[in-house]
A = this chain, B = another copy of it.
Amino acid sequence: MKFSDRSKRRISRPHLDRSFQTGYGSADHRNWKHPPMPWKKNFDVDVARDRAKALFWSKGYEATSMEDLLGCMDINRGSFYATFGSKQALYLDVLQRYDQHYRCGVLDQLKAEFTPREAILTLFEAVRKEAAGAKGTRGCFLANATMELAASDKSVAKIVGVAFSQTEAFFKAMIEHGQADGTIRASADPDVVARSLLGLLLGMRVLARGGSPAPVLESIVQQVKELL
């Protein structure tokens, strides 16, 4: 029964006939992984996406190939396209999640757990420390995306534009609150200093990606203290 079905189908789909040319078309010899479980994906979507995020983050969009992606996510093409749509869609998805979970999350946490002055300094300290660590040269996903794609892709430009202006707003709010409670110098213009902090933050990210020596970033953190 099955054999006859196959031979009938093969006639109507001639391009499949080439499989015999590959030399190992037999199902008996392929590596066995899991029995197919059609009612349930046999990988964790969130884990796979996080792995893709790590790869896009450190290599960028263009330099990451589908093969890289499938290898590190440990899924196959069919599952990839069924779950994530396309390489581009996954990238935008991952960028947006980074923005929402990482950037927004961090800023909210800083706002909630620290005094205004400490919140700003803690953020800069965290960036300095991250740059000094093992994954130092991957920088900031949003900054990387800006440099690679903002000029040519409107969706990316929109995401990073919003991210930057919200970060600026965070700095401005922290400065105004710090001035109210006397921990930040009253002579600071909240707009000017907030924008400068944004500039310094992004500058640190470029320097980190370029592998600048640690004292450079330390001096910038030092300067931030003096700005407040």
Chain A contact residues, CB within 8 Å of chain B: 58-60, 62-63, 137-139, 143-144, 146-148, 150-152, 157, 160-161, 164, 168, 189, 191-193, 195-196, 198-207, 209-212, 215-216, 219-220, 222-223, 226-227
Contacts and interface: CB of A to CB of B under 8 A. Distances in A.
16 contacts: A62-B62, A62-B63, A63-B152, A137-B151, A147-B148, A157-B210, A164-B207, A168-B216, A191-B219, A195-B215, A195-B223, A198-B207, A198-B216, A199-B200, A199-B220, A201-B203
Contacts of A189: 219, 222
Contacts of A203: 198-203, 206
Contacts of A168: 216
Specify how many copies of this chain sit in the oligomer.
Answer: 2
Interface SS, A side: helix
Given A199-B199, A206-B206, A157 B223 contact: no
